[in-house]
Amino acid sequence: MSNPNMGFLPPLGWNSWNTFTWDINEELIRQVADVFVEQGYKDAGYEYIVIDDCWSLRERDEQGRLVPDPAKFPSGMKALADYIHSKGLKFGMYSCAGTHTCAGYPGSFEHEFQDAKQFAEWEVDYLKYDYCFKPRSMEGELLYRRMGLALKNCGRDILFSACNWGQDEVHGWIRSAGAHMYRSTGDIQDNWESIKRLAISQLDKAAYTGNYCHNDMDMLVVGMHGGSNNDFIGTVGGCTDVQYKTHFSLWSMMGSPLMIGCDIRKANDTIKDILQNKDILAINQDREARGVYVLHPEPHWFHGQECYMLVKVLADGDLAIGFFNLSDSKRELPLMFWDLGLSIGSGKKLSLYDCWEHKDLGVFTERFAPTVDAHDCLVVRGKLV
């Protein structure tokens, strides 16, 4: 019997890659599990703790099995899974559709069923499946179907997190291959330009998400502050807290899985308040998991793609509305209620609640036109009254 909740909503969790890349070990993973419980992440809904690339030895063993690096994981993966499960959390691992992972460790190509069985034996709950070093002449679609089938038949519920970076028009076929989430973007970096680029790249794909197959815009950089050990991801600077807030709001509203990428052992209160904002998380975790629609404020020629509103229809009839200003100057972003389907003749108004300030803004008729600072956003929950 499979668990009907698995992948129903966008998965919430933590992944080792953005901050630690190759420098991972069982002690770190256990500490992250402890922090999940002790510092409110578990109560906020975060559940999956995922080890990314670089966990294995460079070669398979004589039986063709993947071998955890004993220097990094001396107790083995089953013991680590037990520890994570003892905290009421779930355990994720990583492999690749090609012969090698992106960092050059063994991939699952032609070992799909064997590896799925191995992950099940270790009591893994989630598999991220990357796209490096796959034979060029083979369709990615077939390789994701293979692992999708192997996981569905491995004897354990394992959530399938596909990661082909949005290539090959993935949104058109990935749901049918069995994945519960799919990366739609190239790798994120801990800087504002990257956040902005990824967010804008998914505006025309906003509808391709939903229950059991979520558009994964990549792991969060919230709270990294330049803390990666990897030059590409970003070893200096990072973003401002306002930019992290906007990043979190965008990913949440667009229905992306929210996989924390910072060192949560060191996160300060501002970062915790962003990651654990219950009003924003409730939008991301709305049970109908609808994709947003996009509204471009007038005048269009002025705002271009840099300023827009995202609107998500929620299960209880409310509307989540995000006003995003990705430009470098302060902007007024007028929302006309007729664009929401609220006809003037209906006599309906909108009562708006600010999901970052956690307070009511009042009741509005026909339009609402907030001024939003550069790189900032306003996210409201609107109730028809």
- Site residues (vs ligand GLA, CB under 6 A): 17, 52-53, 101-103, 130, 163, 165, 187
The CB-of-177 to ligand GLA minimum distance in angstroms stands at 18
Query: Residue for token digits 């998380």?
Result: 281
Strands 126-130, 90-96: pairing kind: parallel
**Residues 115, 125, 130, 263: which is the catalytic one?**
130
Going by the DSSP 8-state scheme, the letter that residue 96 receives in this structure is E
List the catalytic residue out of 168, 187, 241, 339. 187
Q: Which is nearer to ligand GLA, 233 or 292 (CB)?
A: 233
Least distance CB 355 / ligand GLA (angstroms): 28
Cβ at position 7, least distance to ligand GLA in Å: 19
Active site residue 204: no
Nearer CB in complex with ligand GLA: 59/288: 59
Helix (H, G, I), strand (E, B), or coil: what is residue 378?
Answer: strand
Are the CB atoms for 373 and 325 separated by under 8 Å? yes
Token match 């300060």: residue?
268
Give the Cα separation of 82 and 18 in Å (integer): 25
Q: Which amino acid is at 85?
A: H
Least distance to ligand GLA from the beta carbon of 246, Å?
A: 21
In the complex with ligand GLA, the residue whose CB is nearer, 167 or 346, is 167
Residue 69 vs 82, nearer CB to ligand GLA: 69
Neighbour tally for 276: CB within 10 Å: 17
Rounded to a whole number of angstroms, the minimum distance from the CB of residue 165 to ligand GLA is 6
Angle at 191 between CA 161 and CA 92, to 5 degrees: 20
Considering the complex, state which of residue 92 and residue 148 has its C-beta at the smaller distance from ligand GLA. Answer: 92
Cα-Cα-Cα-Cα dihedral sign, residues 197, 252, 55, 185? negative
3-state SS, residue 311: strand
130 DSSP β-pair partners:
96
Report the distance separating Cα 260 and Cα 262, nearest Å.
6
At closest approach, how far in Å is the CB of 310 from ligand GLA?
24
Output 57 or 103, the one with its CB closest to ligand GLA: 103
Beta-carbon count within 10 A of 382 CB: 24
Q: Decide if 263 is catalytic.
A: no
What are 371's two structure tokens?
A: 């001024």
Q: Which residues are catalytic?
A: 130, 187
